[in-house]
């Protein structure tokens, strides 16, 4: 059996650059034959709908609204929904899995951390960290090369919104340092259908099952 998972997607409830709601995204992925998705909305240091002038607790409760809506929609239609986020630093983005709302509430102002401190915090807390589209080029990106390989657990070697050239560079970077590889659609809308993600060969019951499969290199990249 093969099970298809989206590892990188956004909802309009939380990601300011997305224009499809959590429920719309969930139904789209269900129709495309996915088993599950990881909601990775932009964190509060990225392109977020979160108001800047509210307390940390209020920000974090707002931040999980996209995931919560997706989770409920997934229960109704039979799609598994897992929680993550996309952490931004100078335009470089890091997919973070395996942690929860309690972790966020207990670490106020973590949005201001440098990557070295953020990596230590996430990984020492049992989380997983992968750099998304590490060679993306845009006016808002300060560094268009990956971070030091020892700061991350994996690499998004295929991003459906990225150029072929930069995806090849990401794959070469992962292979150079023997880092686990993953892929994602980076979907912000159902209007532009993507077909990316990873295939697992046993069904993931928890986000830790997905993390374990990626780390053990037991996944197939879907382009």
Q: What was the pLDDT predicted at 79?
A: 98
Q: Looking at residue 136, what is its pLDDT?
A: 85
Q: What is the pLDDT of residue 90?
A: 83
Residue with tokens 């209020």: 58
Distances (CA, A) of 83 to 162, 164, 189: 23, 28, 18
What 3-state DSSP class applies to 107? coil
Do residues 174 and 131 make contact, with C-beta atoms less than 8 angstroms apart? no
Sign of the C-alpha dihedral, residues 96, 98, 104, 109? negative
This prediction has a pTM of 0.96
Domains of the chain: 3-222 (3.20.20.140)
- pLDDT for 137: 80
Pull the structure tokens for residue 190. Answer: 């159902």
Which residues are bridge partners to 25 per DSSP?
Answer: none
CA pair distance 66, 17, nearest whole angstrom: 13
Measure the CA angle with vertex 116, ends 114 and 118; round to 5°.
65
Quickly count: other Cβ atoms within 10 Å of residue 192's Cβ: 11
201 class by beta-carbon count within 10 Å (0-12 exposed, 13-18 middle, 19+ buried): exposed
Regions of the chain with pLDDT less than 50: none
pLDDT score at 20: 97
Q: What is the pLDDT of residue 195?
A: 78
Query: What's the confidence (pLDDT) of residue 141?
Result: 67
């Amino acid at each position: 059996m093969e099970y298809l998972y989206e590892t990188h997607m956004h909802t309009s409830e939380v990601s300011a650059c997305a224009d499809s709601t959590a429920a719309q995204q969930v139904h789209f992925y269900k129709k495309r034959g996915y088993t599950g998705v990881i909601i990775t909305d932009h964190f509060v240091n990225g392109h977020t709908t979160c108001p800047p002038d509210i307390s940390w607790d209020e920000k974090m409760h707002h931040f999980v609204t996209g995931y919560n809506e997706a989770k409920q929609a997934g229960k109704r239609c039979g799609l598994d929904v897992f929680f993550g986020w996309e952490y931004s630093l100078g335009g470089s983005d890091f997919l973070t899995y395996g942690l929860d709302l309690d972790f966020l509430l207990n670490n106020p102002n973590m949005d201001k951390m440098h990557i070295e401190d953020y990596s230590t915090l996430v990984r020492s807390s049992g989380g997983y960290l992968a750099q998304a589209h590490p060679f993306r080029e845009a006016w808002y990106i300060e560094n268009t090369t990956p971070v030091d390989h020892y700061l991350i657990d994996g690499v998004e070697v295929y991003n459906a919104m990225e150029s072929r050239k930069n995806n090849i560079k990401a794959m070469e970077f992962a292979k150079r340092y023997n880092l686990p590889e993953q892929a994602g659609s980076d979907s912000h809308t159902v209007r532009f259908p993507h077909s990316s993600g990873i295939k697992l060969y046993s069904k993931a019951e928890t986000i830790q099952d997905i993390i374990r499969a990626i780390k053990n290199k037991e996944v197939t990249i879907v382009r």
